[in-house]
Structure 1
């Protein structure tokens, strides 16, 4: 039996931009000894004069080249560009449908021809033409997520090529959480450039940090607000999901002024209680600003990947897709990750508004009961730029904390003795009585 009859005829790689989908395909083809044909809708459209006939001819040519060079692989990048025919309503619908049909016909045409594999890559599998993903086509979906801390360290080590072998990269990796391989490559290149420009000296750890972290030239008031915001997230997360593998930092990385990071996601039973706790954690940053500073700021929203973006998407999934809210919201309106479609229904918008309002109120109540802890964590973020979940757990573990004054410095003085101690992995007491 040949290798081609023992594996899927097609694979779809799904993951965020820069996570290495194209690199994976190239390495796989090289290691498997496959002739690789790289294609995309943009490439096909750019062939000849770009009219439909030239586009279809280019599609056929790539697949014919693959058949003529077996064993081979056709790698199609950005397969979400091959649109879902059912969603097309514009005047060029016939053109798009003909293109989609041509690609599907070529993929079907490799059946029975041993030695040709098709790999597609996308950042948004939900936007792909469903027929492209059915059995016999790109039938195997492989999700490539963001790298965890161990994987990020390996990425840095590979790109450092033996430099900084004796240095501990933990702090660098923690700052890089959320990045992908392309980001790591850029950081290392920028760090090497900084070392070269500084008299051609050897690469140092400070060069990596300098390539990651931008100078924090914000006014003191804004830096303090950022610390309060991240402290709110961290305290709520530790209370609801425990102290292990979680920390907050306030380093300026790109356009981000700070973040909460869990290096290992907690197990999720998928119940309403778990989802509502997660909403509280997401909105706890804004709630902390309201509690300690008198009002929330626009820092929780305004952009994709912001707190409000994540919270709205999660609430929309709860109400319109997951069926966890209750009998009034048991209808499936669309995929959980298709927030735009879910919010197009008035019933979902109403439920989302209620869930978000309840989550903000619950987060504020939780933080108000632990105001002293929030203030201490915020002050420590101001002083050190990083606080681990174990430190928060230690304060909670020691019992009832005296209600602090509004003055953050005074609160820190009151509680410094309570929080001083081991920063190892403390266990969160699930029986703690809220006060």
Structure 2
């Protein structure tokens, strides 16, 4: 019988109402304890005025109270006015009051002195200290109850700093299944065993096997690590605890560790269940000498290690974690008994991209889509990027006033994601447009005339919002797993084709080749330092890659002299590629002119149109 997890909330309250009640109680006590502050309005005057009114015979009544003199003066007619003045040490005051005349029927001033009753010390202590403290405690309690009700305590104590803050989804709330995850068949097969254990633990425990305590999902951003974790919970029909690693990192030392304890306590109560920690590298980074004994992140990591080592795997609590930086994780976190399995979530291959596109295309209306073409055009794209491409295609179909998505919509959305939207209003001069056209035809010509090069799919000189004034798209016929030295060198030749066309035909060099230069240099350096494709350095590794899933920053692992020699070797490769590109363009000048003229007129041509121009030129 599966446990039913529901969001538990504390009693609801209103902090404003609590505050209002507190003010009313304080005002009541103020009236009760200090009634003189709530008396009617009395005119304040000086002692000399009091003596003067007395000598004039206008005072009817005098009352002395709390070192203050209150006297009533007869005004015109029957009107009276009460005044207040401070009591002064006047030994003759009583005699003056007895001798003074008054408008009273008796002709004498009625005067009296009120001696205030003093409360007992215990009552004063209660009224001045205990009662106000109790009032403010009740206000604070009302406010915290209201905040707890809004945030949801999941049955924990709001004021406990150890509240994990994890989002808890009941088994019925997780709708994601393995059918929603495509392009990661190997990862799904690995996780299927965990799902089967949660469904049928008896057949595993009978043989003495225990469930893997943890599985680490590793891969580039957008490959579906969070999605497949939810799919495991959806397939197993168990509660799902989701929390980010950064939520454990707090300002005060010890709070993160308390959150870890609370998380595992809740998970054990709801077992079988799944705990998912996203971006675990936020707390799981490798410990080193720079860490102090009271470092918050280190204490949180130590508590996580202890909890993972201490809970019983037979209860059915599975920990899934995701990261883009596995190389930064602490070794103790990765050992067997904690994260027993490491599941690679790599970028999808050709068939994987087709499967992902099919999953997302089920949600939109579309015509017959050339899946093979779109999948080949999106090489290197993650699942999240493919989902974005499909959505962009649907938005384009709406803009074009159509109710179904076509292959052209998907092709244009691929270009939009890669190079940005078209800048149709950008004005380019005739001379610049000619240079851009020859630049792009130069890339296409060099690519078409080489054997180890991807076919040209599209050429355009329409500016894009990314800053590109034009581009040449190449699409491989098949998925390439290995790249030879010839493949990489020909790519460098293709990168230099645009600049070579500018030099030979336009007799100039422009800034349009900046991205080509960057890509060619990066590729040539990798050939020398990482791929062992240099005769000078043979198979010597001269560079290491850090954060391979987050851009792949590199750093040299060689001496300064060797770094200088590497620069010379990279320059030699680029120069050879540049000379080859110039040679190809020189041998095909007539085709270059015809293709460039056609491109200037149409602004966008397909690879088939470009190849027909080449074939016609060869026949001539």
**TM-score, normalisation: structure 1:** 0.69
The residue number in structure 1 matching 2:237 is 33
Kept in 2: contact 1:324–1:330 (CA 8 A): no
Structure 2 CA distance for partners of 1:133 and 1:204, relative to 1, 3 Å: same
Gaps of 5+ in 2: 1-202, 504-508
* Shift in Å, 1:280: 1.8
Kept in 2: contact 1:13–1:119 (CA 8 A): yes
The residue number in structure 1 matching 2:321 is 120
Gaps of 5+ in 1: 396-411, 421-435
Number of equivalent positions: 379
Kept in 2: contact 1:317–1:336 (CA 8 A): no
> In structure 2, which of residues 332, 342, 350 is the aligned counterpart of residue 131 of structure 1?
332
**TM-score, normalisation: structure 2:** 0.51
The residue number in structure 1 matching 2:576 is 362
* Shift in Å, 1:86: 5.3
Structure 2 CA distance for partners of 1:359 and 1:114, relative to 1, 3 Å: farther
> In structure 1, which of residues 9, 14, 21 is the aligned counterpart of residue 225 of structure 2?
21
State yes or no: 1:342 paired with 2:555.
yes
Give secondary structure in 1 for the equivalent of 2:319. Answer: strand
* Shift in Å, 1:209: 4.5
Give secondary structure in 1 for the equivalent of 2:223. Answer: coil
The residue number in structure 2 matching 1:225 is 439
Structure 2 CA distance for partners of 1:39 and 1:88, relative to 1, 3 Å: farther
Bigger Cα Rg: 2
State yes or no: 1:52 paired with 2:253.
yes
Give secondary structure in 1 for the equivalent of 2:451. Answer: helix
**Which whole-Å CA distance do the structure 1 matches of 2:541 and 2:268 have between them?**
46
Structure 2 CA distance for partners of 1:363 and 1:6, relative to 1, 3 Å: farther
* Shift in Å, 1:226: 3.8
Kept in 2: contact 1:248–1:386 (CA 8 A): yes
State yes or no: 1:10 paired with 2:227.
no
Structure 2 CA distance for partners of 1:386 and 1:117, relative to 1, 3 Å: farther
**Which whole-Å CA distance do the structure 2 matches of 1:20 and 1:291 have between them?**
42
Kept in 2: contact 1:10–1:118 (CA 8 A): yes
Structure 2 CA distance for partners of 1:194 and 1:166, relative to 1, 3 Å: closer
State yes or no: 1:387 paired with 2:607.
yes
* Shift in Å, 1:156: 2.9
* Shift in Å, 1:59: 2.1
Q: How does 1:12-411 map to 2 (within 5 A)?
A: 12-45=216-249, 50-82=251-283, 84-85=285-286, 89=290, 94-110=295-311, 112-161=313-362, 163-196=365-398, 201-205=402-406, 206-212=408-414, 213=416, 214-215=421-422, 217=424, 219=428, 220=433, 221-229=435-443, 232=446, 234-235=447-448, 239-240=451-452, 247-250=456-459, 255=466, 257-262=471-476, 264-266=478-480, 268=482, 274=484, 276-294=485-503, 295=509, 297-300=513-516, 306=519, 308-313=521-526, 315-318=528-531, 330=540, 334=544, 340=553, 342-343=555-556, 345-346=558-559, 349-350=563-564, 352-371=566-585, 379=595, 382=599, 385-387=605-607
* Shift in Å, 1:298: 0.9
* Shift in Å, 1:114: 4.1
Give secondary structure in 2 for the equivalent of 1:85. Answer: coil
Q: Deviations over 1:1-45 (max 9, x none)?
A: 428946643322222211211111111221133432222222223
* Shift in Å, 1:215: 1.9
**Which whole-Å CA distance do the structure 1 matches of 2:527 and 2:451 have between them?**
20
Give secondary structure in 2 for the equivalent of 1:76. Answer: strand
**Which whole-Å CA distance do the structure 1 matches of 2:344 and 2:235 have between them?**
21
* Shift in Å, 1:79: 2.8
Structure 2 CA distance for partners of 1:127 and 1:225, relative to 1, 3 Å: farther
Kept in 1: contact 2:254–2:296 (CA 8 A): no
Structure 2 CA distance for partners of 1:118 and 1:372, relative to 1, 3 Å: farther
RMSD after superposition = 4.3
* Shift in Å, 1:307: 5.0
